[in-house]
Structure 1
């Protein structure tokens, strides 16, 4: 095999060391490059107006091959200055010819070309490629975050709509709508105890066990009269009139309808958010004034004699003494203050009613356990009631189910919302704040989505703009690779030169 047929394979990373080791280029080329760069900077200051020159000089880095193209163009533009001996009188031509001479001295041009080629392969092209990938990834991440925020937005909107639907609100004017829905409370209370008549048997059973015919007084009253006023329960007669307590929600003006102010949910000293619970409600103590019955004779402070008794006139109108007597018996009086509440609406009596339900439920559950044990045993060991055979375990279980059904109705979430809304100003404020905060969060999400959408578009545009830069960089690197291979080939009898690990490895 001829030596000319043996290819020269040079790894790209070792190209500069290879050139130095063959004494083709000097080991330190920086002083030469610095001098050449200064010459190029001075030469650029005086250039003719030419489209080809403008295109060449617009590049980020001018190398030896660009300088040769500039000289070729100047041969046309400066041909009038050429002498008979072939030299040019133009200073422009002289400057660029000097640059070419400095490049070719000790093959500095080849060393610089190899340096640019290696830098492009190792840093420039991979750097641009990584930047494009990163921009595309950031754009995709922005789109993904938009999808995640859309899910959260939908969840908030659904929760907001569900809460409004549960409360029977539209969300336009909370003060008016709260006041309107609170008018439904009497109907809700009546519906919650519609099955209270089913407690007749368990109440009688408990009375028989406790030997107290007046046990569970509120349940008995509700079974007989329904959800009457506290006045009716206390005085055993219906009032002539009821002066209802005004509903004062005390909502801040900015929370009545949608606004731009931030909502303060109120945090405690530990930074924990306030929660909607019964602990926020200050029910106060219900003071019930009952007339005390007194016996014995009344001392009016009047000393009378038999003669005086004959002169007493019993026909004097009682109004003359400034006294007003309310009606008695079925006539009743006026229910005011706490006595104007219904039993299920009164903070005090509502809790007592629920306590009575739990008391009755506990008794029946224990009764059910006892009967279950009795039915599973051949011997009756003991009995809480003499009438043990009257009710079996299944019938008692049915009574327990009836009580639990009433408890569920009385304490369901919707009823508790309305009840606390009426009796707790803090609860009304927090509920209004919660509704408004949901919509504020939705608005913030929507604004963030728009920002992310714009960011995604901008990042995508930047990645697209970098692709032509990458392609141009690859094109120039291919040119440099070709020139290096041909230059080295000429030095070794036109043997084939292969730069290994070049563009193909990127």
Structure 2
């Protein structure tokens, strides 16, 4: 086999060691590179305006092969300075020719080119590609976070809308809508109380079983009379008038101080004048000359000359008709319902709780009876015979009763009724509930801002990644060119044998 046909394979990582071991370059070639780089820096300060030079020097690390191209371009731009002997008088040409001579001394250019090739392959190109990959990952993560935030927004928004639907409000002006919704609470409670009348049969069954006709008093009263006042439940008769306590969250109008000038005690004979409130004293319409300040004497307004012998004697023979005193009948007829007695049973915090507890008691009884009727063993047959006098005492009727209790219990314990009841009877609950709803809106706005920020970051990372693509492409192309130039140079030294630089993954 011909020696010229045998290729020379050199691993890129071992290229510099291979050049030194073949004595193509010296071991101390690093010390001579500084002088060459200094000459190149000085020569670059004086360059002609030429498009090819601009493209050549753009973003490139100048090496020996670039210098050869620069001289070829200067042969055109500096042609006027050429003399008859073929030499150039231009200082620019002389500077670059000197750089070429320094490079070619001891094949310094080949050692530097090998160093640039190894650095580009092992560090520069991988580093830029790693930056591109990092920017792409950051962009993907930002877009993923934006998607998660968008889903979280939808979740919180659905919770907000569900809570608004639960409360029966639109959610535009939260506090005012909640306060207005409380006005509908009495009608809702009256409808629930009306449906409680369907539990009459279940209440009678429980009373017959427990042999107590007065069991479940609150539930029994509501089933019979509806959502009456607590006063009527306590005294078994409706009041003549009801003074419902004002809602604690309502805003009271302040009375101007200028209008407070006199106190009305309710006497129709006129007003009592306390004089100037501003500090001039209280005028009792008594002349100071008529006041006797001597100790031990009190003027009762009775003359010493006129003494009634019957004074101090009480006449007990006056009739009630003559005295004008009217004695009402016994009991609470004509009473006024005030405070908690003015609330309806379903609205009063205390009696509402009692009503719910009695419903739970009735529910537990019905479940137990349904179980006993369904099992039907010998022990339970005895208890069934005790209830023979009560009609419709079978699993089907018990299941219907139990279903009615469950439906009414769910109505009176619905979230909307609970919230409205708390708003009416708790001065701070409306603000707490409003704050809770507003926090969800603030959370949505915050997540939306964060989502927009994540999307902006993703765009920025994409732009940075795209901005590095031309750089890595340019360096890769230059590295491939440099690799082929080194291969040709080494090939000339070995009778044009094929040279392959291995391991350059470009």
- TM-score grouping bracket, smaller chain normalisation: 0.7 to 0.9
Match for residue 495 of structure 1? 497
Match for residue 126 of structure 1? 126
3-state secondary structure, aligned to 2:215: coil
Alignment of 1:126-275 (within 5 A): 126-249=126-249
TM-score, scaled relative to structure 2: 0.80
Inter-CA distance 75–366: structure 2 relative to 1 (3 Å threshold): closer
Where structure 1 has 5 or more consecutive residues not aligned to the other structure, the ranges are 252-302, 320-324
Matched, 1:438 2:440: yes
Q: Identify the match of residue 484 of structure 1 among 458, 483, 486.
A: 486
Q: Tell me if the contact between 1:193 and 1:409 (Cα under 8 Å) persists in the aligned partners.
A: no
3-state secondary structure, aligned to 2:71: helix
Distance of 2:7 and 2:359 partners within structure 1? 102
Q: Identify the match of residue 458 of structure 1 among 447, 460, 476.
A: 460
Inter-CA distance 311–101: structure 2 relative to 1 (3 Å threshold): closer
Q: Identify the match of residue 324 of structure 2 among 317, 327, 330.
A: 317
Q: Count residues in correspondence.
A: 445
Q: Identify the match of residue 421 of structure 1 among 420, 423, 431.
A: 423
Deviation of 1:81 after TM superposition, in Å, equals 4.3
Inter-CA distance 50–393: structure 2 relative to 1 (3 Å threshold): closer
Distance of 2:317 and 2:132 partners within structure 1? 121
TM-score, scaled relative to structure 1: 0.80
Q: Identify the match of residue 364 of structure 2 among 362, 365, 370.
A: 362
3-state secondary structure, aligned to 1:425: coil
Deviation of 1:125 after TM superposition, in Å, equals 2.0
Where structure 2 has 5 or more consecutive residues not aligned to the other structure, the ranges are 252-311
Deviation of 1:332 after TM superposition, in Å, equals 3.2
Q: Identify the match of residue 338 of structure 1 among 314, 337, 340.
A: 340
Comparing 24-33 with 483-492, greater Cα deviation is found at: 24-33
Q: Tell me if the contact between 1:179 and 1:247 (Cα under 8 Å) persists in the aligned partners.
A: no
Deviation of 1:181 after TM superposition, in Å, equals 0.9
Q: Tell me if the contact between 1:327 and 1:333 (Cα under 8 Å) persists in the aligned partners.
A: no
Alignment of 1:276-291 (within 5 A): none
For residues 334-353 of structure 1, the C-alpha deviation after alignment (integer angstroms, 9 at most, x for no partner) is 32221111101101011111
3-state secondary structure, aligned to 1:186: helix
Distance of 1:58 and 1:474 partners within structure 2? 14
For residues 148-170 of structure 1, the C-alpha deviation after alignment (integer angstroms, 9 at most, x for no partner) is 22222122222211211221112
Deviation of 1:380 after TM superposition, in Å, equals 6.2
Match for residue 106 of structure 1? 106
Match for residue 261 of structure 1? none
Match for residue 116 of structure 2? 116
Match for residue 376 of structure 1? 377
What is the root-mean-square deviation of aligned Cα atoms in Å? 2.9
Inter-CA distance 381–156: structure 2 relative to 1 (3 Å threshold): closer
Match for residue 401 of structure 1? 403
Match for residue 264 of structure 2? none
Q: Tell me if the contact between 2:235 and 2:332 (Cα under 8 Å) persists in the aligned partners.
A: no
Inter-CA distance 419–470: structure 2 relative to 1 (3 Å threshold): same
Match for residue 449 of structure 1? 451
Q: Tell me if the contact between 1:209 and 1:385 (Cα under 8 Å) persists in the aligned partners.
A: no
Match for residue 353 of structure 1? 355
Inter-CA distance 327–14: structure 2 relative to 1 (3 Å threshold): farther
Match for residue 45 of structure 2? 45
Deviation of 1:111 after TM superposition, in Å, equals 0.7
Match for residue 268 of structure 2? none
Distance of 1:120 and 1:239 partners within structure 2? 99
Distance of 2:81 and 2:198 partners within structure 1? 123
Deviation of 1:37 after TM superposition, in Å, equals 1.3
For residues 261-317 of structure 1, the C-alpha deviation after alignment (integer angstroms, 9 at most, x for no partner) is xxxxxxxxxxxxxxxxxxxxxxxxxxxxxxxxxxxxxxxxxx989xx4545573233
3-state secondary structure, aligned to 2:323: coil
Match for residue 284 of structure 1? none
Distance of 1:467 and 1:397 partners within structure 2? 75
Inter-CA distance 479–361: structure 2 relative to 1 (3 Å threshold): closer
Q: Tell me if the contact between 1:4 and 1:494 (Cα under 8 Å) persists in the aligned partners.
A: yes
For residues 75-107 of structure 1, the C-alpha deviation after alignment (integer angstroms, 9 at most, x for no partner) is 344444445544444443333222111111110
Inter-CA distance 360–134: structure 2 relative to 1 (3 Å threshold): same
Structure of greater Rg = 2
Match for residue 274 of structure 1? none
Match for residue 31 of structure 1? 31
Comparing 100-109 with 55-64, greater Cα deviation is found at: 55-64
Comparing 128-137 with 176-185, greater Cα deviation is found at: 128-137
For residues 440-494 of structure 1, the C-alpha deviation after alignment (integer angstroms, 9 at most, x for no partner) is 1111122122222222222222222222212211221121111111111111111
Deviation of 1:428 after TM superposition, in Å, equals 2.0
Q: Tell me if the contact between 2:168 and 2:416 (Cα under 8 Å) persists in the aligned partners.
A: no
Distance of 2:317 and 2:140 partners within structure 1? 111
Deviation of 1:36 after TM superposition, in Å, equals 1.2
Distance of 2:200 and 2:361 partners within structure 1? 15
Deviation of 1:329 after TM superposition, in Å, equals 7.3
Deviation of 1:389 after TM superposition, in Å, equals 6.3
3-state secondary structure, aligned to 2:36: helix
Distance of 1:473 and 1:16 partners within structure 2? 20
3-state secondary structure, aligned to 2:26: coil
Comparing 144-153 with 2-11, greater Cα deviation is found at: 144-153
3-state secondary structure, aligned to 2:501: strand
